Structure 1
Amino acid sequence: MKTKRFLVIAVMIGMAMSVNAQEASESKYGADSVACVTNLSIYGEAYKQWESNKFAPESISMEMVKAWREVFLNCPRASQLIYTRGEKIMDYFIRTNPKDKDAYIDTICMMMDNRAKYFPVDPKTGGSQVANIMGRKGLLIYTYNKNRYEEAYNVLKDAVAMDPSQLQGAYIDAYFKATIDMVNNDKAEKMTVINVYQELSEVLDNNIGALAETEAELVAAKEDAEASGDADAVSGFDKQIEKNEKNININKGVKSNLDNLFQPYASCEDLIKVFSAKMKETPDDVVLLKRITTILDKKDCTDSKLFLDAAVRLNELEPSPEASYSLGVKFFKDRKWSDAATFFEQATKTDNNDRKYRAYRNLGMCYENMGSLSRARDIYRRAAQVDPTNGEPYLLIAMLYAGSAKQFSGEIESKAVFWAAVDKCLKAKAIDPSCADKANGLIRAYTAAFPSMETIFFNDYSEGQSFNVGGWIGETTTIRAKK
């Protein structure tokens, strides 16, 4: 009986909404402020009690739900807590009454629409939060009932169109899964998956790029605080850096999941087949050409004629860093290092941090292949500045150092490059745990090339002593013996 009464309350919200929403006063506490404040107090205190009991099913209060409903209907401007707490209430009903979940999902949708209507501004930032609210609406629809994927897809699609920067990782993940459901159920063409994949990849790349810039600013501010001896400020920056790094890893995790979900649609054969047909229809569509070159590059399908045709046409129609990058990739594949370097240099002027990073990385590889090792290292360092959380540039520098051992004569000098190389590997995995396996593999190889303790001793050095690696490397490292 109690469950049925709860269901009636949830459904009644939908029945009463059209009437009561019109009657609700424009004031914060509605037409009857006394009743609103009373109900706020009743449901608020009861909710806190329920929360203190870890939202145990047996401790939910019927009076709380009734009071919450009255507040929701009659003074929807009273507080954002009406909506965040309402989510928790509806979540309880859905979990305990799964057969009636659609009625509760409808109520959640109504709540989200009201929250966007009455609280469009984020009180913390002063900016719009409507896209974020709609993103959450789409996520909850998809989470609670995957059969409503089309509804979730449309809500999330609109949220991305409003402001993609507001979308959290979970929203992006749900949007892509709903997109795949649309295609698998013949409600969208296969190209939709490709388009949404690129769109969301760009959102995540921009998020990661913005967070990387924030990280660099925080690290610089922390260094200033350390120099001035402000311990409290240093502690504060450490917490901000930790939070920022957590957000970077979340975005990278979502991006990795997106790549995995896209994999069944990402064979070069399938991509080329789909894109070739589209390019034949609209060969001068700049948006399409960018999509073709970007995705074929990401999926390492750049040996195809389609990639070259799209890259050349894009550069003719709209010369840009993005077009230059695509041509750079093609020349790189053809081992035309000088030509590739020219285009990658132009590509570094892009505003897209992910593309900027890859342009610098590839430019460094061009100089490395041309034998300009010092220049290659400088470029890899630029790549590291663009993405301070990426360990790859340091691994590339490590391989540069180790590969130049034959340029140095002397028992110690020729081995010192491996000390410097290991230093870079250690730094790489310290800032980027995702590259730890590769870094550890290189460390094992390079430590095997360390000089023996006897060699160090007979050259009048000792383990742990500082050593300056000469030549173009010009770095100070620490003497270590092969174990």
Structure 2
Amino acid sequence: MKLKVLIVLAGLSLSLLASGSEYLDGFNPQNDIPKYGNDSATCVANLSLYREFYKQWKQSKYTNDAITDATKWWSWVFQNCPRATENIYIDGVKMVKYRIKKAPDPEIKEKLIDTLMLIYDQRINYFPLHYKSKKPQEGAILGRKGVSLYEFKPQEYKQVYDILNRSIELDKENASGPVYVYYFRTLTKMATKGEIDTIAVVEAYDQLSDYIEFNLKKYREAGNDKKLEHYENIRGTIEKNFEPFAQCHDLVRIYNKKFDENPEDVDLLKKIVKMLDKKKCVEEPLYFEATIKLYDLEPSPESAYLIGKMMLNQKRYKEAIPYMEDATKMENTEKVDDALIFLAQAYRAMNNFPMARKKALEAAKLNPDWGKPYAFIGDLYVISANDCGSDDLTKKAPYWAAVDMYKKAKAVDPEMTSEMNELIRRYSPYFPPAEVLFFYNLQEGDSYDVGCWINVKTTVRAAK
């Protein structure tokens, strides 16, 4: 098959080889060529030469002139035996990217970028399957291609979008982090320029968030801190880019129309509730309508949790309780913890302190390393102090029990140490003074039973 090739560096003029710049133009792939081409002996020899010079260049940390000879023989191999080894494309990307950064003028740079794109395309053409897993790798290669194009020609963001969109369609949650970032960046750029509706940005954000959460969970469970940090950074970057489009009125405008058109679409309702909850738009009427509708269509502890939260925000404490009780049946224990604390808060707002404490203790039992339930109980004791006593001793004794809880909170949850120390400092002066202890024939260190609904044993201490 005849090749129409124009090659600077390795093509028509050996004098250009010394200049260290190359590009391929008018290249036609040979889909039916044997592994080592039509001249296998020359292919093997030139392949060996390019690899040897490439290794020398790599060993110099990509600084010496070995790249000139490497690209000469690489170009021949690329054209004449493109099936020989996948390293042709891996090394080619490295060399051509180097040349792009060193290009002496825009015209040569443009040609080199075209060559880089061609290398990615030819890798897909000749090596569509991963050499180890034997699974399709078109999505992954397209991801690298799109990111590279954005790196060198950000003005071509629409083309980048098309490439990365296809990459994500193919790989979904298995796409690389940078693919998500640059894909989303192209979308926000188009939306900012008025070339697409912001609804596309919102929907892409929702989709990418699911993919990123999948990877965060995977690497968290695997204990891979490096990968976990990587995807946390990816999430942070996308969140930052989404911020201008995450205003509640924009989200409501987008989702109101969808809700009106398909009010019984369970998947849509879940998406609406999730997005508005995540972006703290829970005061919006749409959030209330979608949440209630979701519970009607598909009752679940998860939707009960959302309704309960919503009613708590509206101070409808009595109505919130049965929903939050249902929410404690969720499989996600972290959310069950939250549901129990929300129940405790509802009972506290209704002045039912014993039930509030009971729910807080249930949360503490479920998650022994969480200090918040104990801090919550301490606050209950402080609130009750004046109502739980009739004299200078019994009105002060609840502060002993409160400080006990604050100490317990920081003991099980060291991250709360600073916050709990501040509360201990604030309420310790409310302990009974030494003269009151003397009057009631008590000494520091004695055991004492706090009465009222609190009904706990504590240790006598004097105010300092």
Q: Same fold (TM over 0.5)?
A: yes
Pairing 1:86–2:97 present: no
Shift of 1:214: 2.5
CA distance, structure 1, for counterparts of residue 200 and residue 333 of structure 2: 27
Q: Which residue of 2 aligns with 1:185?
A: 193
1:196 positional shift: 0.6
Aligned AA (2:255): F
- The amino acid that maps onto 1:149 is Y
1:453-474 deviation digits (Å, cap 9, x = unpaired): xx9x96399xxxxxxxxx9999
Residue segments in structure 1 that go unaligned for 5+ positions in a row: 216-243, 350-355, 385-392, 429-438, 462-470, 475-483
* Residues 311 and 83 of structure 1: CA distance in aligned 2, closer, same or farther (over 3 Å): same
User: 1:379 & 1:111 partners in 2: Cα distance?
Assistant: 57
- Match in the other structure for 1:249: 229
Aligned-pair distance for 1:271? 1.6
- 8 Å CA contact 2:305–2:324 kept in 1: the answer is no
2:455 & 2:201 partners in 1: Cα distance? 48
1:248 to 1:158, Cα distance in 2 relative to 1, 3 A: same
Tell me the CA shift for residue 451 of structure 1. Answer: 7.8
SS at match of 2:56: helix
The more displaced of 76-85 and 44-53 is 76-85
For normalisation by structure 1, the TM-score amounts to 0.71
What TM-score do you get using the length of structure 2 for normalisation?
A: 0.74
Question: What is the root-mean-square deviation of aligned Cα atoms in Å?
Answer: 3.8
Q: Which of residues 146, 158, 163 is equivalent to 1:138?
A: 146
Q: Which residue of structure 2 lines up, in the alignment, with residue 35 of structure 1?
A: 42
Which structure has the bigger radius of gyration? 2
Q: Deviations over 1:160-197 (max 9, x none)?
A: 22122222222211111111112123332110110011
How far apart are 1:284 and its partner, in Å?
A: 4.1
Note the C-alpha offset of 1:280. Answer: 3.1
Q: 1:270 is matched by which residue type in structure 2? A: D
Q: In structure 2, give the amino acid aligned to 1:298.
A: K
Greater relative CO (CA pairs within 8 A, separation 6+): 1
Q: Equivalent residue for 2:280?
A: 300
The equivalent of 1:11 in structure 2 is 24
CA shift, 1:447, in A, is 6.3
Measure how far apart 1:202 and its partner are: 0.9
Structure holding more helix per residue: 1
1:220-265 deviation per Cα after TM superposition (whole angstroms, max 9, x unaligned): xxxxxxxxxxxxxxxxxxxxxxxx0121122122212222211111
3-state DSSP class of the match of 2:283? coil
- Matching residue within 24, 47, 55 for 2:54: 47
Matched residues, number? 403
Whole-angstrom CA distance in 1 between matches of 2:54 and 2:237: 36
Of 94, 102, 107, 1:96 maps to: 102
- Pick from 70, 75, 96 the counterpart of residue 69 of structure 1: 75
Compared CA separation, residues 380 and 328, structure 1 to 2 (3 A): farther
Q: Does structure 1 residue 344 correspond to structure 2 residue 352?
A: no
C-alpha separation in 2, matches of 1:246 and 1:365? 33
Instruction: Verify the 8 A CA contact 1:398 1:425 in the aligned structure 2.
Output: no
Residue 148 of structure 1 corresponds to 156
Letter in 2 for 1:22: N
Change (3 A) 1:404 1:45: farther
Aligned residues with identical type, % of pairs? 24
Q: What is the match of residue 409 of structure 2?
A: 421
Moved more, 358-367 or 257-266: 358-367
The answer for the alignment partner of 1:266 in structure 2 is: 246
